[in-house]
Amino acid sequence: MTRYAYPYGSFCVEQIPNQPQVAHCHSFFVRADQRGQGLGKRLKQEQCRVLAAMGFDFATCTTAGDNVRQHRVLVSCGWQRLTEFVNSNTGGTTVMWGWTVQRDMAMREAA
């Protein structure tokens, strides 16, 4: 597991077991005192650059079904809603998202 930390937030990226071209992303957050200023989208774009630079072909993440802010971040960064299920741990809905890594992202400068 690798954690990427920035002054305004952080995220983790992990290769899934037995499939070196697929990453699972998790623990994504913007610091509570800095939300609502577009930093969620900026952080997700940075994560996309990291995934490209690491040479992955595909990435996944999950969200709570009612996490509207994060859903807007994901859609705006080109992630696709793959499926959803009733989470027997939380009782809520969990959504699974996927992103086909864009190689040219690795070359882009951070915003």
The contact set with ligand COA (CB under 6 A) reads: 28-30, 35-41, 63, 67-70, 72-73, 76
Q: Which residue is nearest to ligand COA (CB)?
A: 40
Nearer to ligand COA, 66 or 103 (CB): 66
Q: What long-range pairs does 102-107 form, CB within 8 A, spacing at least 24?
A: 102/48, 102/52, 102/78, 103/52, 104/52, 105/48, 105/49, 105/51, 105/52, 106/49, 106/52, 106/53
Nearer to ligand COA, 20 or 38 (CB): 38
- Minimum Å gap between C-beta 101 and ligand COA is 19
